[in-house]
Amino acid sequence: MPQYMLSVHTAAGEPREQMTEEQQRQGYALIADLEAEMEAADAFVFSARLSEPGEAKVIRRGAGRPKSTDGPFAETKEHLGGFYLIDAPDIAAAVAWATRVSDAIGESIELRPLAGSRGR
């Protein structure tokens, strides 16, 4: 089955409204329920939330040994904040999952098939 990455991008330094503890609890419950549905449908492969871009390291290959510098890799306002890897029979099913994730987290989702993906 083809695999897809559903990614959410965040903007560095962009002000965000502080969530109350109740809003956070409800948000986590919504995500947990959605992930349980993904698992029940054999769509869930993996998900992760990434640390802040300032914690990234960039490894560059050059003459001699590779060099490590503080990240992020690109000087850009938006950064990858987290992602899901899912199995879906086709792009329509992947779009349906991406739509549900977007609704659950209140952010846009970028959907991309994994190159050469044939599934697990």
Task: For residue range 85-116, list pLDDT tens digits in order.
Answer: 999 999 999 999 999 999 998 889 999 999 98
pLDDT of residue 73: 61
pLDDT of residue 60: 79
With tokens 């609704």, the residue in question is 103
Write out the two tokens for 59. 């490894």
The Cα-based distances of 101 to 22, 37, 114, 120 in angstroms read 20, 11, 18, 22
pLDDT of residue 5: 95
Give pTM, 2 decimals.
0.79
pLDDT of residue 67: 73
List of the chain residues with pLDDT < 70: 12-15, 71-77, 118-120
Q: Which fold would CATH assign to domain 3-13+20-113?
A: Alpha-Beta Plaits (3.30.70)
pLDDT of residue 17: 78
| Helix 21-40 with 91-105: angle, nearest 10 deg | 160
